[in-house]
A and B are shown apart, each in its own frame.
Chain A
């Protein structure tokens, strides 16, 4: 198992956001988290990236417990990349500087080498001509692709994608999802939270339905989306189908 989550529990004050999540993620697989807003998808991803302290349970990366309190999170975050809904590019830096910041600062790679690698990545995703642009000068889709390149430049083993298409105009969603498909075909392990049901159905190996901080259903997409067993998963999918999104 690449990542193994055991009984993960997380609450903000009296409000329990994650209530005993257990999940195994195989190397090279794409795991999609779906569920209503507030069901805990984003919080789960933030916990996997060690951005949030957890209350109980364990997270294993390659069999090693990374949820031990007091563990230095920085080297682990370099192995588990994350991309956010609102891109979160650094607005005062060019695209190139956004991308090479972490490689040059955290791993001591010299600037010239980092630039060459960054350009290769930008070329791979059709962004080579944007290297010297600033984030404000790019469309939402371009910004999100840059954010993905920035995460990839750290050479992570796993990529966490937190609703990366949710703040994009509909016509820009496809260009970002194409990037995710290409990453999948290159063998990257991906965990993504999404509202794109078509993508969940066609491109993921495992779909998990979250509701109220619990995984209420998980399995291959055909089974979870076509023939759900739990009542809560059925109710959620009914609403999705009724709104014409599947």
Chain B
């Protein structure tokens, strides 16, 4: 009996050692290929000086970091607005009363139209179009209307995420709540939505990661945030390194967020689909 267990443990260990070795060797091969071949490209030296210039990087980095504060601000006021608006849209779309049909139809049109046009185009249309109506300061700020464009487009995506979550809560949960005398809205508020939100947290995080990046699109209608600042520095130094520096700053935020999303998804997967089949 003991010997069988030992043999199994030994077998699992040797398998594990082998997979680690295979992974290490294949990574090494790929990295070597990159390190050897890219510098051999005909104009590698030109690319290196114009994209990876250490002096320009050091000079530009603090200014970019300053400009990035505006990106973070836009993100911080847009994200809560998106979540609230999206939840309202999802709930309106899930309403069942015939009297609310116009509201349902409106939300369907809203999600279809907002999701059917690129975010950038909405930022141009709303960011230039609405202030063009002749609004007084501060209501004509491109920063304001650029943020609103982001909020309106992202809310339509996030509303669909919430809707999927709401629909994934089994009908029997509603039946149980209604049989206890709860109204439709009480059932939504205390039974359906809390469960729906738990299920869609990973998908929401995904959308928040892409929002964090798309905030930079607002720069195209005026506000000096990181992407625009990088463009200014690029012209000043006649060098593309500021763009690389901006990319590094974005990665510092988005990689941890993405890793956390993956962790949450993995946890949800384990909770809902059971243990993994052996490889």
Contacts and interface: CB of A to CB of B under 8 A. Distances in A.
Contacts of B173: 88, 90
B182 A101 contact: yes
A223 B14 CA distance: 70
Interface stretch (B116-124, B188-196, B231-239, B246-254): B188-196
B190 A106 contact: no
Interface string A85-103: 0101111100000000110
B194 A106 contact: no
B32 to A, nearest CB: 50
A86 B183 contact: no
B94 interface: no
A74 B186 CA distance: 11
Interface in B193-207: 194-195, 198
B172 A154 contact: no
A49 interface: yes
B132 interface: no
Contacts of A154: 180-181
B181 A88 contact: no
Interface in A90-137: 90-92, 101-102, 105-106
B176 A90 contact: yes
Contacts of B182: 74, 101-102, 105-106
B175 A88 contact: yes
Nearest to B183: A74
A216 B144 CA distance: 71
A66 to B, nearest CB: 13
A147 B179 CA distance: 12
Contacts of A92: 194-195, 198
A86 B171 CA distance: 12
A154 B178 CA distance: 12
A150 interface: yes
A62 to B, nearest CB: 17
A82 interface: yes
Nearest to A45: B179
B172 A74 contact: no
Given A88-B172, A90-B173, A101-B190, A82 B179 contact: yes
A81 B198 contact: no
A91 B170 CA distance: 12
Interface in A28-49: 46, 49
Contact of B181 (A75, A86, A89, A90): A75
A101 B194 CA distance: 14
Residue among B179, B181, B183, B194 with max Cβ neighbours from chain A (10 Å): B179
A81 B172 CA distance: 15
29 contacts: A49-B179, A51-B175, A51-B179, A74-B178, A74-B181, A77-B178, A77-B179, A77-B180, A77-B181, A78-B181, A82-B179, A84-B176, A84-B179, A88-B173, A88-B175, A88-B176, A90-B190, A101-B177, A101-B180, A101-B182, A101-B190, A102-B181, A102-B182, A105-B190, A106-B180, A106-B182, A150-B180, A151-B179, A151-B180
Interface of B: 172-173, 175-183, 186, 190-191, 194-195, 198
Q: What 7 pairs across the A-B complex have the smallest Cβ distances?
A: A88-B176, A78-B181, A102-B180, A82-B179, A77-B181, A106-B181, A88-B172
Interface of A: 46, 49, 51, 73-75, 77-78, 81-82, 84, 86, 88-92, 101-102, 105-106, 147, 150-151, 154
